[in-house]
Amino acid sequence: MLKDKLKKYKIILASGSPRRQQFFIDLGIDFEIKLKEVAEIYPENLQGIAITDYLAELKANSFTDELQENEIVITSDTIVWLENIALGKPNDYHDAFEMLTKMSGKTHEVITSVCFKTYLKSETINCTTKVTFNHLDENEIKYYLDAFKPFDKAGSYGIQEWIGLIGISKIEGSYTNVVGLPTDMVFNYLKKL
């Protein structure tokens, strides 16, 4: 369905995330992957959505001088927002353990921004989902980190993995956003092109 609508465009997904790449396949979007090294540093005064918007746009802007007329580059950034602190990907095992311990028994927000950039303009959309964790004991956290090694994930967890099955009591909003991309919003944006 979307494939026909996007025939005249070349879609570039600038993401190394296997979850985002699989979502694009599942949505039936023809795309190519192009990755650029971008230092994901943002001004300290930014909060919540402003952080992910900034980082998604920063990644897209690295393509500014090379986009052709029919190309759309899509970039994205996700953070976990807990008690006014942004949790990105953990630095190591200890960092991941600390993050999950802090989230235990609490509600946090998963915020994702997606930037669509052409040679003429760029537009950013975002999505926020509230996720509530049960109390996680130390052994559950250690088992999860040892077995699943979620060190490439914002907040140190994947909702689609074991911890999502045993540790999450409530979710308000988009499930796919927590996995890494608000697929319904991306689909609807591309459908309107």
Residues acting as catalytic residues? 77
The neighbour count for residue 121, using CB atoms within 10 Å, is 7
Cα separations in angstroms, 99 against 34, 95, 143, 177: 30, 6, 15, 19
Integer-rounded Cα Rg, in Å, for the chain is 17
**61, 118 contact by CB (below 8 A):** no
Cα separations in angstroms, 48 against 59, 66, 74, 168, 175: 17, 30, 20, 21, 18
Selection from 70, 71, 89 nearest residue 79 by Cα: 89
Q: How many angstroms separate the CA atoms of 90 and 124, rounded?
A: 25
**71, 10 contact by CB (below 8 A):** yes
